[in-house]
Homo-oligomer: A and B are copies of this chain.
Amino acid sequence: MTTSFETVAPLLAQQAIELPSWAFGNSGTRFRVFGSPGTARDPYEKIADAAKVHELTGLAPTVALHIPWDVVDDFGQLREYANGLGVELGTVNSNTFQDDDYKLGSVTHSDPVIRQKAIDHHLRCIDIMHQTGSRDLKIWLADGTNYPGQDDIRARQDRLADSLQQIYAGLGDDQRLVLEYKFFEPAFYHTDVPDWGTSYAHTVALGDKALVCLDTGHHAPGTNIEFIVAQLLRLGKLGSFDFNSRFYADDDLIVGAADPFQLFRILAEVIRGGGFGPDSGVAFMLDQCHNIEQKIPGQMRSVLNVQEMTARALLIDRDALSAAQAAGDVLGAHGILMDAFYRDVRPDLAAWRESRGLPADPMAAYAASGHQEKIAAERVGGAQASWGA
């Protein structure tokens, strides 16, 4: 009933998923950040780890940076290093949530000095983008308040709009700003960009180079995320995804691990709305934490999950689906969707990988390669990278 795999294979060849450098450093919860053998200690080692994921999966040709976590003396050199390993530097993520000055806000702060500092940090990120060849500046803000009355929600919006305008003005012609929203955390009463509507309203006000970033873990319980995907594509404002999964809050688990059917529905709407492929302007990125599992295989599992589910979503028999929908055949239309979801695409994908010189089972290939043991033995001494460095 579904489309054949052969039909969709060329589309899969277009898929690229950006890896976050910070996924290769340690992460954890407020209770504890556990270390693990072999963890990268600097941006170079993070990039090497990301390149290993790409080598084995063919899915992850770019690596996102987090500034200042990934600051190096010479970004040109870092870029060459990445290229030498077969990957490119990608999105630059600004960090305005770990400096003491930002305790009560950054680009929304009522103190003009602190606000300017936060704006300047973004301008510095744009400078780095010129050196790294990055297209996108991703802005996620920890700004918000913990207590009702703590600050003036409305005034913060106005300051936010002004700050974004100044940052936007600094963008190069081929650069974009993607504004991420988040329901809560680390702020516990209100966040200054809590939902897609807020991000949308601001990016519309900014202009065509401003778009929305949708992180799949940043919504209220029960939110229909694929609807937001469809809506943002319709409005021409979906810039990028931060993929991950969650059972409760922003758990940052491996994408597809918590609700694979939701991932399928999201990808089905991406494809339906023209958001798939390099020409769509929609970037696929991961934003995850591997608190207790190994990091390189954690990232591999993630990109493979996205690929497998993309294959299933591409296999939907769109003609039959449209016909059943038009006929008001509720169970029939639902059944056509489910047919694609339940198709086991793994054997086809394994064969396809081999045809492209990749290992049929990248997870097994990594385990057999001894690479994890190698980096565990080599990376001794120094400070393992984490969110704080």
What is A's interface to B at a CB cutoff of 8 Å? 27-35, 97-98, 100, 103-104, 110-111, 142, 146-154, 157-158, 183-186, 188-190, 194-198, 200-201, 219-224, 226-228, 230-231, 233-235, 246-249, 251, 253-254, 257-262, 265, 269, 272-273, 291-294, 297-298, 301, 308, 321-322, 325-326, 328, 330-331, 333-338, 341-344, 346, 363, 387
Whether the Cβ atoms of B249 and A185 lie closer than 8 Å is yes
The distance from the CB of A206 to the nearest CB of chain B, in whole angstroms, is 14
Whether the Cβ atoms of A226 and B153 lie closer than 8 Å is yes
Whether the Cβ atoms of B194 and A272 lie closer than 8 Å is no
The distance from the CB of A144 to the nearest CB of chain B, in whole angstroms, is 10
Whether the Cβ atoms of A246 and B331 lie closer than 8 Å is no
Most B-side CB within 10 Å, residue of A220, A246, A335: A220
Whether the Cβ atoms of B248 and A322 lie closer than 8 Å is no
Whether the Cβ atoms of A222 and B220 lie closer than 8 Å is yes
Q: A147-B334, A336-B149 are in contact. Are A222 and B183 (CB under 8 A)?
A: yes
Q: A322-B152, A337-B148 are in contact. Are A97 and B32 (CB under 8 A)?
A: yes
A186's contact among B29, B230, B235, by CB below 8 Å, is which?
B29
Whether the Cβ atoms of A337 and B149 lie closer than 8 Å is yes
Q: Which residue of B lies closest to A363 (CB)?
A: B335
| Interfacial chain B residues near A262, Cβ < 8 Å | 259
Could you jot down 10 A-B contacts, CB within 8 Å? A30-B387, A147-B293, A149-B333, A154-B269, A185-B248, A189-B253, A196-B197, A221-B222, A260-B261, A261-B261
Whether the Cβ atoms of B342 and A148 lie closer than 8 Å is no
| Interfacial chain B residues near A28, Cβ < 8 Å | 30, 186
Whether the Cβ atoms of A183 and B34 lie closer than 8 Å is no
| Interfacial chain B residues near A221, Cβ < 8 Å | 220-222
The distance from the CB of A309 to the nearest CB of chain B, in whole angstroms, is 10
Q: Does more than half of chain A's interface fall in helix, strand or loop, or is it mixed?
A: loop
| Interfacial chain B residues near A249, Cβ < 8 Å | 184-185, 248-249
Whether the Cβ atoms of A148 and B257 lie closer than 8 Å is yes
| Interfacial chain B residues near A219, Cβ < 8 Å | 220
Whether the Cβ atoms of A292 and B104 lie closer than 8 Å is yes
A150's contact among B27, B29, B333, by CB below 8 Å, is which?
B333
Whether the Cβ atoms of B257 and A154 lie closer than 8 Å is no
The distance from the CB of A51 to the nearest CB of chain B, in whole angstroms, is 20
Top 3 nearest A-B pairs (CB, nearest first) are A197-B197, A149-B337, A220-B220
Q: Which residue of B lies closest to A205 (CB)?
A: B235
| Interfacial chain B residues near A333, Cβ < 8 Å | 147, 149-151
Rounded to whole angstroms, the CA-CA distance of A148 and B223 in the bound complex is 14
The distance from the CB of A326 to the nearest CB of chain B, in whole angstroms, is 6
Rounded to whole angstroms, the CA-CA distance of A321 and B100 in the bound complex is 24
Q: Which residue of B lies closest to A272 (CB)?
A: B154
Rounded to whole angstroms, the CA-CA distance of A251 and B187 in the bound complex is 9
A344's contact among B97, B269, B297, B342, by CB below 8 Å, is which?
B342
Rounded to whole angstroms, the CA-CA distance of A346 and B104 in the bound complex is 30
Q: Which residue of B lies closest to A98 (CB)?
A: B32
